[in-house]
Amino acid sequence: MTHSRFSAFVVLLLALAVNVAGQNTSNLFLSDQTENSFCTEDVRLRIDTLLVELQQRPGSVGYVIASADRSIPGRFLKYFTNFQLHVGFRRFDTGRVKFYRAPDGDSMRFDYWISVDGVTTPELPPHYRSAKIVEPTLFDSSEIIKITKGVVEFGYGFETAEPCDWGLRLNDFAMAVNADPNLQAYLVASAGKRNRVGFVRRALQITSRTLSREHGITASRIKTSFAGVLQDDEMQLWLVPKGSPAPTFRPATSPYK
């Protein structure tokens, strides 16, 4: 985070600390909500702001109710998990922030509620159950950054101050594949330039091998496809029911675009 952004963050926290006692006097209110917010600075600022508001209201409880974008459901898991871990990272009482996953929707959405009395709750979603995959479904996508000592690194922007593409969580993908014996794993990738074709093809091979050796997907259930020279070095993870047509590369799915 740059100095100016950090200063703005401090000013926001101070303003909340001064004004929060006189605001939102009802027992329950929606503090914030986001749709398709991907960048580190924004998403962590949201959860930090929630924690500050809770800190200023003894006995209050926060509720984070979130839903995945059904067109790319795997991406949601990175953010949902990181939000929960961030509460502990801030050494905040994890019992005062409750997380619920709602059914998938048309965007990745997070609603931040505050129960002032700690008793009144927002409308909570039913226990989440993942929908059965009946057609090729894009799980997640990410920029292919580099290959270091036989390991593929994903995620655009992690060498800058403001990453928005948080990479791929291969374990989440493997769990989705292994949970349904009717599914196959497809890795589809593009190269940004002709001189990167060999690099991308190698990334496909390494990722396929990693999913098999380290994450337990039977090698015969993993297929790879090179989509050609397009805009970026990008890899997409697809869940495909057996007998369905092979997926084609879907453009403009990286979160920084």
DSSP 119-147: S--PPPPPPP-PPPP-S-EEEEEEEEEEE
CA 11 distance to own-chain centroid = 28
Distances (CA, A) of 136 to 163, 179, 187, 238: 28, 16, 12, 7
Averaged over 187-213, what is the pLDDT?
98
pTM, full prediction? 0.85
Residue 239 · residue 185 · CB < 8 Å: yes
Q: How confident is the model at residue 19 (pLDDT cuts 50, 70, 90)?
A: very low
- Cβ atoms of 189 and 226 within 8 Å: the answer is yes
C-beta of residue 20 within 8 angstroms of C-beta of residue 56: yes
Q: How many Å separate Cα 119 from the centre of its chain?
A: 30
Encoded tokens for 116: 């002032």
Least confident of 54-63, 64-73, 77-86, 237-246: 77-86
Note the Cα 202 to chain centre separation in Å. 25
Spatial contact of 19 and 57, defined as CB atoms under 8 Å apart: no
Rounded to an integer, what distance in angstroms lies between the CA atom of residue 20 and that of residue 29?
13
Q: What is the pLDDT of residue 165?
A: 86
pLDDT of 4 strictly over 90: no
Domains contained in the chain, CATH given: 22-115 (3.30.1330.60), 137-241 (3.30.1330.60)
Nearest to 28 by CA among 105, 121, 101: 121
pLDDT tens digit string along 101-154?
Answer: 999 999 999 999 999 999 999 999 999 988 899 999 999 999 999 999 999 999
Strands 61-67 and 97-101: parallel
What would the pLDDT profile of 143-174 be if each residue is shown by its tens digit?
999 999 999 999 865 555 567 888 999 999 99
